[in-house]
Amino acid sequence: MSDEEHNIHDFDIALICEYFSSMDRQGPGSQEATIKALSFIDNIHEKSNIVDLGCGTGGQTIVLAQNTPGNITGIDLFPGFIDKLNDNAQKLNLQSRVKGVIGSMDKLDFQSNELDLIWSEGAIYNIGFEKGMNYWNEFLKKGGYVAVTEASWFTEERPKEIFDFWNEAYPEIDTIPNKIAQMQKAGYVVMASFILPEICWIDNFFVPEITAQKIFLDKYKGNKSAEEFVKYEKHGAELYNKYKEYYGYVFYIGKKI
């Protein structure tokens, strides 16, 4: 890697969070994909305890609330995201069932066997898929569900350029069968897995990112770190367009057995 190139771990977390604050979602996804994943999950009722880990500004948290009767706790490290979730829940009159709290997905303040459903879109990578699947399992009731999206390879082999990019960003990216095997080892039966359609990346993430980049660069004109971050994000979008047949986000839905 040359001096001019960066990887995601070089950037200031507060700056990254500010960049994403103006967006409705902070990763690829869609309302339709969230609802499709929910269709593999049963036994959710008014008393169900649902958590959404790494909820960001809560795009999918609100969709969960609108499509299930349960109580939902959205958890994220970044206070600005949690404020936005709580504001939106209030505006939609969902505040009695939806609460955003600041916290970390690897230090959960729940009892063993307390939760009915653990949701996490585009966020388990922060602690690693295998660690997350194992750690979260103890908090679920027997028969409870986990549903996450995770970057995954679609092929056994891939071009070096995209392999190197992901190896820097998230070396735990793996093939779908290997992810499913990890879930099974962690104590889940895998109910479904499906690939997020391209629209989840392009229309719902990269296109809104262009506006976020304008807002951000106006504010941080001349700030080298901010400019480099935007460059990194643009590079990520270019690589997706070039190599999208080799990787994407996959929804994995498992049931604790």
**Contact between 81 and ligand SAH per CB under 6 A:** yes
CA count, 13 A, side-chain hemisphere, 152: 21
How far is residue 29's CA from residue 106's CA, in Å, rounded to a whole number? 23
Q: How far is the CB of 132 from ligand SAH (least distance, A)?
A: 10
**Contact between 179 and ligand SAH per CB under 6 A:** no
Q: Is the dihedral of CA 173, 179, 185, 189 positive or negative?
A: positive
Task: Output 78 or 247, the one with its CB closest to ligand SAH.
Answer: 78
- Please count the residues of this chain forming the interface with ligand SAH, following the rule CB under 6 A: 23
Helices 13-21 and 224-243: crossing angle in degrees, nearest 10, is 70
Per CB under 6 A, which region of 47-55, 182-190, 214-222, 235-243 contacts ligand SAH? 47-55
**Contact between 78 and ligand SAH per CB under 6 A:** yes
Task: Output 70 or 103, the one with its CB closest to ligand SAH.
Answer: 103
Per CB under 6 A, which region of 26-34, 157-165, 170-178, 240-248 contacts ligand SAH? 26-34
Q: How far is the CB of 157 from ligand SAH (least distance, A)?
A: 28
Q: Which residues between 104 and 123 bind ligand SAH (CB under 6 A)?
A: 104-106, 121-123
Q: If you count them, how many residues does the chain have? A: 257
Q: CB-based contacts of 36: which residues, under 8 Å, 6+ apart?
A: 194, 251
How far is residue 197's CA from residue 46's CA, in Å, rounded to a whole number? 31
**Contact between 132 and ligand SAH per CB under 6 A:** no
**Contact between 18 and ligand SAH per CB under 6 A:** no
Q: How far is the CB of 160 from ligand SAH (least distance, A)?
A: 27
Residue 190: strand, helix, or coil: strand
DSSP-assigned beta bridge partners for residue 115? 140
DSSP-assigned beta bridge partners for residue 174? 152
Chosen residue from 22, 86, 126, 175 binding ligand SAH by CB under 6 A:
126
Q: How far is the CB of 126 from ligand SAH (least distance, A)?
A: 4
DSSP alpha helix (H) spans, 101-173: 129-137, 160-169
Task: Output 77 or 202, the one with its CB closest to ligand SAH.
Answer: 77
Chosen residue from 18, 19, 21, 29 binding ligand SAH by CB under 6 A:
29
Q: How far is the CB of 203 from ligand SAH (least distance, A)?
A: 14
Identify the CA nearest to 50 among candidates 149, 138, 120, 131: 120
Task: Output 122 or 254, the one with its CB closest to ligand SAH.
Answer: 122
The identity of residue 166, as a single letter, is W
CA count, 13 A, side-chain hemisphere, 13: 6
How far is residue 87's CA from residue 2's CA, in Å, rounded to a whole number? 43
Give contact residues for ligand SAH (rule: CB under 6 A).
Answer: 25-27, 29, 53-56, 59-60, 75-78, 81, 104-106, 121-123, 126-127
